[in-house]
């Protein structure tokens, strides 16, 4: 019954294909076959296999697809896209390990043939490397070479997934003793630069940001990203090109990200970057430098310069968060810290760290107002902001919950709430420079 049904389908397809062929330009174009017979065969096989493929019948699609692949590979790029689907189905279904690997070999060949006829080597190599790793996870070096070639060809157009594997594979080779720390550092630097470029230009921004967060963690945890390794790698490069703005940005970003801001290299590179290429980022790095040296007023000056001139709102928000932390933790001016934290939130309402420092700044206010009620009430708004922080950024949940637990201990006690005629859940509005309304909470 199934065979009869299949024959009916094929017969119907062939009738349609014959009619279509007579009305098309296939018979005139040599890319569909060397003569009219071959071109007719192409149209028929294409119609048959595509219909089977539409119904996810990969087994019956295989033979007509294979004829096209072997005889007229230049006819259509879809031949190779469909071939990947077909061979992935065979790989998934095959139980025999040796036969499965033969299918993997053929899948790799399909990618190579696609490059031969339809170019786009960089893009196709990225897809090929990912599939190679999926079916042969031990082929790290071979896949890494493909990934590197893909990035070399595509540069800023490199797919975000390929960037992830660039770092992942470099770390894997480093841990196996096949590559040095410099390979990991370079892989991260290349991947981060391309990701940042796409994020800044809003090209698949969320995808690139998510991928960068993932490979950044792999890089940080690799053991290759120590301050010692970074300094050893980049000191001679800095000395050779102390005015190379691109190199200086790379050095300062890496050292800042890996908390190596107290190093001499960071100091020299930050000052050189600001002199060579004044920019909000250069000013920010200089602020980080002065903060690490304990020169807080100079740090404040450059944080302000950076945030005032930055046009990217997410970057501006992060710079204001850093300034807020400086004002609260180092300069001990929570009122100014609150002001800058609110500016950070205005620039990017999804910046969870801005809510965190706003909460911490309120919590650090000493003896606010005229009595113990207003002094205790600051902890209510502190907790309000810790709750907002984890709501907009779930990665901050653990830290926010810890702060909530700590500062909830300072809520007003029940007997003092009774004295002020307050009840749990009642609205409370501040007087003075704190322009906030919050909810009464009583210490449990």
User: In this predicted structure, what is the pLDDT of residue 422?
Assistant: 87
329 compared with 423, residue with greater pLDDT: 329
Task: Report, as an integer, the average pLDDT of 385-410.
Answer: 96
User: In this predicted structure, what is the pLDDT of residue 88?
Assistant: 97
Using pLDDT thresholds of 50, 70 and 90, give the confidence band for residue 26. Answer: low
Using pLDDT thresholds of 50, 70 and 90, give the confidence band for residue 24. Answer: low
**Residue 16 predicted with pLDDT over 80:** no
DSSP string, 97-161: HHHHHHHHHHHHHHHHHHHHHH--HHHHHHHHHHHHHHH-TT-HHHHHHHHHHHHHHHGGG--HH
The 10 Å Cβ neighbour count of residue 20 is 13
Task: Report, as an integer, the average pLDDT of 79-83.
Answer: 97
Q: Are 380 and 346 in contact (CB under 8 A)?
A: no
Q: Are 104 and 90 in contact (CB under 8 A)?
A: no
Q: Match domain 319-444 to its CATH number in 2.30.29, 1.10.287, 2.60.40, 1.25.40.
A: 1.25.40
347 compared with 247, residue with greater pLDDT: 347
User: In this predicted structure, what is the pLDDT of residue 27?
Assistant: 57
User: In this predicted structure, what is the pLDDT of residue 389?
Assistant: 97
Residue 328: DSSP 8-state: I
DSSP β-bridge partners for residue 437: 429
**Residue 36 predicted with pLDDT over 90:** no
Using pLDDT thresholds of 50, 70 and 90, give the confidence band for residue 51. Answer: very high
Same fold, 120-225 and 319-444: yes
Per-residue pLDDT tens over the stretch 341-380:
999 999 999 999 999 999 999 999 988 877 888 888 899 9
Task: Report, as an integer, the average pLDDT of 325-342.
Answer: 97
In CATH, the number for domain 243-309 is: 1.25.40
Tokens in use for 184? 């990991």
Tokens in use for 360? 């911490």
**Residue 318 predicted with pLDDT over 60:** yes
Task: Report, as an integer, the average pLDDT of 67-75.
Answer: 96
Q: Are 106 and 92 in contact (CB under 8 A)?
A: no
User: In this predicted structure, what is the pLDDT of residue 32?
Assistant: 87
Tokens in use for 307? 């945030």
Q: For the ranges 75-89, 214-228, 349-363, 379-393, which has the lowest average pLDDT?
A: 214-228
DSSP β-bridge partners for residue 427: 439
**Residue 4 predicted with pLDDT over 60:** no
Q: What is the pTM of this model?
A: 0.65
Q: How far apart are CA 274 and CA 280, in angstroms?
A: 9
- Identify the sign of the CA torsion 204, 209, 212, 217: negative
Per-residue pLDDT tens over the stretch 277-310:
999 999 998 999 999 999 999 999 999 999 999 9
Give me the architecture of the 120-225 domain, per CATH: Alpha Horseshoe (1.25)
| Per-domain boundaries in the chain | 1-94, 120-225, 243-309, 319-444
Using pLDDT thresholds of 50, 70 and 90, give the confidence band for residue 3. Answer: very low
Q: Are 124 and 131 in contact (CB under 8 A)?
A: no
**Residue 399 predicted with pLDDT over 80:** yes
Average pLDDT of the chain is 91
User: In this predicted structure, what is the pLDDT of residue 7?
Assistant: 46
Tokens in use for 167? 């770092």
**Residue 203 predicted with pLDDT over 60:** yes
């Amino acid at each position: 019954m199934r065979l009869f049904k299949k024959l009916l389908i094929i017969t119907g397809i062939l009738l349609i294909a014959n009619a279509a062929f007579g009305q098309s330009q296939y018979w005139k174009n040599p890319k569909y076959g060397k003569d009219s017979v071959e071109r007719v065969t192409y149209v028929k096989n294409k119609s048959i296999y595509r219909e089977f493929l539409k119904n996810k019948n990969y087994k019956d699609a295989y033979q007509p697809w294979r004829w096209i692949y072997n005889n007229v590979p230049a006819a259509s790029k879809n031949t190779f896209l469909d071939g990947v689907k077909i061979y992935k189905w065979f790989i998934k279904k095959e139980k025999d390990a040796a036969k499965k690997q033969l299918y993997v070999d053929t899948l790799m060949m399909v990618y190579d043939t696609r490059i031969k006829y339809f170019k786009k080597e960089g893009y196709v190599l990225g897809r090929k490397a990912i599939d190679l790793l999926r079916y042969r996870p031990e082929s790290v070096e071979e896949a890494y070479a493909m990934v590197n070639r893909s990035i070399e060809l595509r540069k800023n157009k490199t797919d975000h997934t390929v960037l992830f594997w660039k770092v992942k594979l470099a770390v894997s080779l480093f841990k196996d003793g096949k590559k040095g720390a410099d390979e990991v550092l370079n892989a991260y630097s290349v991947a981060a630069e391309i990701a940042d470029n796409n994020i800044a230009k809003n090209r698949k921004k969320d995808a690139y940001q998510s991928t960068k967060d993932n490979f950044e963690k792999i890089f940080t945890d690799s053991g290759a990203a120590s301050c010692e390794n970074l300094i050893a790698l980049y000191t001679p490069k800095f000395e050779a090109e102390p005015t190379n703005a691109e190199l200086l940005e790379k050095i300062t970003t890496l050292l800042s990200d890996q908390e190596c801001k107290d190093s001499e290299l960071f100091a020299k590179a930050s000052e050189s970057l600001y002199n060579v290429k004044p920019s909000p980022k250069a000013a920010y790095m200089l602020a980080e430098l002065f903060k690490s040296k304990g020169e807080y007023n100079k740090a404040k000056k450059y944080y302000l310069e950076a945030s005032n001139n930055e046009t990217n709102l997410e970057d501006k928000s992060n710079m204001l968060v850093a300034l807020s932390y400086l004002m609260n933790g180092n300069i001990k001016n929570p009122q100014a810290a609150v002001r800058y934290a609110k500016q950070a939130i205005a620039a990017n309402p999804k910046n969870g760290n801005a809510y965190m420092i706003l909460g911490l700044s309120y919590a650090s206010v000493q003896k606010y107002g005229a009595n113990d009620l207003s002094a205790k009430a600051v902890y209510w708004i502190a907790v309000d902001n810790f709750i907002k922080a984890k709501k907009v950024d779930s990665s901050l949940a653990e830290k926010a919950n810890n702060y909530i637990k700590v500062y909830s201990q300072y809520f007003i006690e029940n007997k003092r709430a009774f004295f002020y005629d307050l009840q749990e859940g009642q609205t409370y509005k501040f007087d003075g420079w704190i322009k906030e309304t919050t909810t009464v909470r009583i210490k449990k």
